[in-house]
Amino acid sequence: MFVDQVNVFVKSGDGGNGMVAFRREKYVPNGGPAGGDGGKGGDVIFEVEEGLRTLMDFRYNRHYKAPRGENGMSKNMHGRNTDPLVVKVPPGTMVTDASTGKLIADLVAHGQRAVIARGGRGGRGNSRFATPANPAPELAENGEPGEEKEITLELKLLADVGLVGFPSVGKSTLLSVVSAAKPKIAEYHFTTLSPNLGVVETEDSRSFVMADLPGLIEGAHEGVGLGHQFLRHIERTRVIVHVIDMSGLEGRDPYDDFLKINEELRQYNLRLTERPQLIVANKMDIPGAEEHLNEFKEKVGDYPIFPTSAITKSGVRDLLFEIANLLEHTPEFPLNEPEEAEDQEKRVLYKHEAEQQPFELSREDDGTFVVTGAKIERLFKMTDFSRDESIRRFSQQMRKMGIDQALRERGAEDGDIVRILQYEFEFIE
């Protein structure tokens, strides 16, 4: 089964907890704090493996969690940093954040890596909090929580040439003739249910990768037929080969087919119109095809047309030479335009953005005050509530953030319940 789009959940490792410990060695008076820091949690890294062709593995395993860092130890020993979780993906995989739609990584080259979720840092041990005023603190941090996110993996095949056209125009037959690929061929529509790749070599030893995409029909960009599932795969191609049935056996007008397919490409992604396009007038061995070709040439204009017959292989040699010539001077079309390095060096952009609120305060129907926000929740998770000093430190952090004052302004009184995450506290004036 060919799988080219899937949603998965990733979570990097939490940092290890810092430790509260003291030196108790003979002949060492006033040993002081000796709690070590926790280790860093593991990153979730995606790496390109050229041997993979689909996202099938992600269909059965949709959760990827990296291990957490090792806790700190006594004698100021640092916990071990955890190795990253490396997940293999096929070349051509685009990783986007499912909630925001923002592109995280575009992975195309073998061995290319991208950090999808960064591991949390380790919590600090009590030796980090020693001060002249408090030389023996019983205070340590828990590890920072790792990042977790829902991501979308989308595979866009890496092919130099893409074959497009209506069903049953001979795309699969053409690919089987010019390469060693063995696509399914039959006398009914939508024989091809997934893209097929083949390596083509010309007589002068030039080679390129050709993709046979499932047949498109009118309305494909809106989800009609099968082609809409695979239009994404043509986005990376540098040359489009438009295969048209000139025999007229299907009862369609070749010029009308040409207009409809190009309109579908334009509606799906306007940038597809920038690619050079060759027209393959296929099935020229069938009687009546020559008359249809003459009418087609009068209407189509300046497009290069190659009369061929995939069955008899006539015209195929000239077609392959022209494709190879086009590829030599056709640049790649990046899916995301990178900014030029020179422009980045010359231009400095200053933006005025409102400071993000560190917390939000709401109230439920039962009178409970709910405090939410990434910053306050992160501090909460890194606090060790089993120690009084840690609790006092967290209370001071809340006071500095303005949460106490915000609760008073919302009418909080002694004994009211305040909730952070799933934990509840009493508000004390």
Annotated binding site for GTP: 165-172, 190-194, 212-215, 282-285, 309-311
Q: How far is residue 239 from each of residues 130, 161, 162, measured CA to CA in Å?
A: 66, 5, 7
| Contact by Cβ (8 Å): 90, 108 | no
| Contact by Cβ (8 Å): 90, 96 | no
How far is Cα 114 from Cα 43, in angstroms, rounded to an integer?
10
Q: How many CA atoms lie within 13 A of 26 on its CB side?
A: 0
| Contact by Cβ (8 Å): 285, 276 | no
Neighbours of 90 (CB within 10 A): 21
Task: Outline where DSSP puts E strands in 174-314.
Answer: 196-201, 207-212, 239-245, 277-282, 305-307
Could you list the residues known to form a binding site, using ranges. Answer: 165-172, 190-194, 212-215, 282-285, 309-311
Could you list the residues known to form a binding site for Mg(2+), using ranges. Answer: 172, 192
* DSSP SS3 for 101: coil
Choose among 7, 132, 4: nearest CA to 61.
7
- Residue 141: DSSP 8-state: B
Choose among 146, 121, 141, 157: nearest CA to 12.
146
How far is Cα 64 from Cα 10, in angstroms, rounded to an integer?
5
